[in-house]
A and B are shown apart, each in its own frame.
Chain A
Amino acid sequence: QQPVQSPQAVILREGEDAVINCSSSKALYSVHWYRQKHGEAPVFLMILLKGGEQKGHDKISASFNEKKQQSSLYLTASQLSYSGTYFCGTEIVGGGNKLTFGTGTQLKVEL
């Protein structure tokens, strides 16, 4: 079953922060986050494994709440280059290593 992302779309001014959420109804082994620009392939951002860890690099970080089967992606001090569609991909426990992608969140950063 496809994970649900929220919000569906968000518009930011440069420098503002955003949070994108990903929620699954199944027990998760890992959550993968990708950003995709129009007409391009998804670009890997980070992976969070079962264990509730938080990760981050530069001004993008993410958390994984294993009990709630939810992950959140945090974008701080947004830049124009952050614009794109963000997808979470989930691996379910015992489901092999295929990813089931969420519905996507369109993010646009304006001046």
Chain B
Amino acid sequence: DTGVSQDPRHKITKRGQNVTFRCDPISEHNRLYWYRQTLGQGPEFLTYFQNEAQLEKSRLLSDRFSAERPKGSFSTLEIQRTEQGDSAMYLCASSLEGPPYEQYFGPGTRLTVT
């Protein structure tokens, strides 16, 4: 399968714990995006990378969230000191560097904070 993959698919954690998610983009895609989706809502942009450079981060994103893409391939999203409000589906997408920037989504990681 050459699509976007994410790991784990589900994560249950207790409030205050740290969690880390991984995303592997489509191999030839330079751009990688993270989104968050809550029930009944559309995905909400968190951050995106071109190769290893983080080009933009949502102003709404708490400092507890950090993302990396150290070698320009896979990316990790870490949430520190999780809160119940962090419970959501975390989606990763990837696209080519040039237009038309079609973004293809992975299956997501569903986070439940208890």
Identify which of residues 27-63 in chain A touch chain B, using a CB-to-CB cut-off of 8 Å.
Answer: 30, 32, 34, 40-44, 47, 49
A43 CB to nearest chain B CB (Å)? 8
1/0 contact trace for A1-43 toward B, CB 8 Å? Answer: 0100000000000000000000000000010101000001111
Task: Bin chain A's interface residue count.
Answer: 20 to 34
Q: In the bound complex, what is the Cα–Cα distance between A44 and B40 (angstroms)? A: 18
B41 is an interface residue with CB less than 8 A from chain A: yes
| Given A32-B102, A40-B107, also A98-B45 (CB < 8 A) | yes
| Smallest Cβ-Cβ distance to B42: which chain A residue | A101
Q: Choose from B40, B100, B107 the contact partner of A41 (Cβ within 8 Å).
A: B107
Residues of B within 8 A of A49 (CB): 99-100
Q: In the bound complex, what is the Cα–Cα distance between A58 and B18 (angstroms)? A: 45
CB–CB A100/B45 < 8 A: yes
How many chain-B residues does the 8 Å CB contact rule pick out? 24
Q: In the bound complex, what is the Cα–Cα distance between A8 and B69 (angstroms)? A: 37
Residues of A within 8 A of B105 (CB): 34, 41-44
CB–CB B56/A96 < 8 A: yes
Residues of A within 8 A of B104 (CB): 44
| Given A41-B106, A96-B56, also A101-B101 (CB < 8 A) | no
CB–CB B42/A97 < 8 A: no
Q: In the bound complex, what is the Cα–Cα distance between A87 and B40 (angstroms)? A: 11
Residues of A within 8 A of B43 (CB): 42, 87, 89, 99, 101
B108 is an interface residue with CB less than 8 A from chain A: yes
Q: In the bound complex, what is the Cα–Cα distance between A49 and B55 (angstroms)? A: 22
Identify which of residues 76-111 in chain A touch chain B, using a CB-to-CB cut-off of 8 Å.
Answer: 87, 89, 91, 96-104
B positions within 8 Å CB-CB of A: 31, 33, 35, 40-45, 48, 55-56, 91, 95, 99-108
A positions within 8 Å CB-CB of B: 2, 30, 32, 34, 40-44, 47, 49, 87, 89, 91, 96-104
6 residue pairs of the A-B complex, CB under 8 angstroms, read A30-B101, A41-B91, A44-B105, A47-B100, A47-B101, A99-B103
| Contacts beyond the supplied A98-B56, A101-B43: 12 A-B pairs with Cβ under 8 Å | A32-B103, A41-B91, A41-B107, A44-B105, A47-B100, A47-B101, A49-B100, A89-B43, A96-B56, A98-B45, A99-B45, A103-B42
